[in-house]
Amino acid sequence: MSSKTNGAKLMIAAYLGDRSTHMLREEDVMKLTHINYAFAHVKDGEVTGSHLKNIGRLNELKALNPDLKTVISIGGWGAGGFSEAASTPESRKKFADTAVELMLRNNFDGIDIDWEYPCSSLAGIASSPDDKQNFTLMLAEIREKLDLVGRESGKHYMLNIAAGAGQYFLDGTEMDKAQQYLDYVNLMTYDMRGSFQNTTGHHTNLYDQTGDPDGISGERAVNMFVEAGVPVEKIVLGAAFYARVWKGVENAGTGLNRKAQTTGCHTIDYTGLLESYINKNGYTRYWDDLAKAPYLFNGDTFISYDDEESLTYKAEFIKNRGLAGIMFWEYPLDSSYTLVDRLYKEINCK
C-alpha cells in the first residue's frame, strides 16, 4: 500500500459545496490546485452522492486546468455512519468499494474522509472506543482499493482526511499508523474556539493569542500532529473564509479574552464582513500581533476571522515549516474573491 505527496506547487485547496459550484470562477480554476467537493454521505454503510447535482459543471471547469485535482469529500460535521461502516472487515470493504466507485464514476482524483470525529459523539453521531483502531483499518482498506484501481489506470489516486486541530482528534485516532495511507492531512485550524466557549478569542489564529490561557493555535496544532507521527510535508494548514461571533461581551479593552453572554456559535461570511462590519457600523478592526490574527469589536460584539493580512502570515509559515499548503472553508463565502487572490499571490507567486 502506498501514498505519495506531489511536489511542484504548494497546495491551495478549496472546500466547495455542490450547491455553490456555480460560483466557481474560471480564473480561480487556474489558481487553485485542489477542490474538495462537499459532501458525499454514508447511508446504510455505503457512500452515496446521489444528491450531488453539479458535478458535471465541476468537470467542465476542471477541463480548463489539467493540473487541478478534484477530491470527493465524504462526511462533514454531524454526518454519521462512519463508526458503523468502519466496524468490521466486511463493512469497511463495502465503504471503500462504494467510495472508490463514486470517485471513478465522477472523474475525481481522490477521496477526502471528513469523519467528525472518531471516538466522539459530540456532533450527535454514533461512536465507539473501537473507532480508534477501526479508523486506521478503514483508511488502509480505502488505500488498498485506490492502489488497485490506480495500477489498472496508471494513475495515483489521493486519500486525504480532514482532521480536528486539537488533542481530542489525536486521542481518538492512531495518526502515526494512519498517516502511512494518506497523501494529505487537512488540518482544520479554524473553529478552534467558538461553539462551546463563552470567552472571546481567535478561532483561526496562527500563533498563541495575547493573554491566552489555553494555548490554542495553528502552530500548536501542526506541532502536535508532527509529534504524533505525521510528516510535516503531508500537513495542510486550514484557513477560514468566515467569522465567529460572540455577543453580550464585557465592554473592556478591545474585547479580547472577555466573557460574553453567548458562545461564539454565530457566523458571518467574509462577504458580509467586508460589506457591513470591518471598520463599519461602529466596529473597529484590531490586530493581535502575537497571534497574527485580526478581530473586530464594537463594545458589545466580538468577531474573529481571517483576512488578507493573516493569510499572508499563514503562507509564510507554510513555506518556512515545509507544509504541503493551505486549504480553506469555504470558497463561496468570499464573493469579493480577495482572499483566494491573496493566497495565490502569497503561496505560488513568490
Run of H or E including 111: strand 110-114
Q: Output the nine-digit C-alpha cell for 163.
A: 482532521
- The structural domains of the chain, ordered by start, are 11-240+306-348 (3.20.20.80)
Report CA-CA distances (Å) from 257 to 11, 252, 299. 33, 10, 13
Closest listed residue to residue 83, CA positions, set 133, 124, 118: 118
Which neighbouring-strand residues pair with 269?
242
Closest listed residue to residue 308, CA positions, set 335, 340, 332: 340
Catalytic residue chosen out of the listed positions 27, 84, 116, 309: 116
Residues 155-165 as b/e (b if ≥16 CB within 10 A, e otherwise) read ebbbbbbbbbb
Between strands 46-48 and 34-43, the pairing is antiparallel
DSSP string, 22-55: GG--HHHHHH-SEEEEEEEEEETTEEE-TT---H
Q: What is the C-alpha to C-alpha distance for residues 161 and 182, in angstroms, rounded to an integer?
A: 8
Is 141 in the active site? no
Query: Hunting for cell 490506480 — which residue is that?
Result: 150
Strand ordering across the sheet containing 293-297: 266-269, 242-246, 302-304, 293-297, 284-288
Burial grade of 4 (CB within 10 A; 0-12, 13-18, 19 or more): exposed
Question: pLDDT tens per residue, the chain (350 residues)?
Answer: 444 444 468 999 999 999 999 999 999 999 999 999 999 999 999 999 999 999 999 999 999 999 999 999 999 999 999 999 999 999 999 999 999 999 999 999 999 999 999 999 999 999 999 999 999 999 999 999 999 999 999 999 999 999 999 999 999 999 999 999 999 999 999 999 998 899 999 999 999 987 877 789 999 999 999 999 999 999 999 999 999 999 999 999 999 999 999 999 999 999 999 999 999 999 999 999 999 999 999 999 999 999 999 999 999 999 999 999 999 999 999 999 999 999 999 999 87
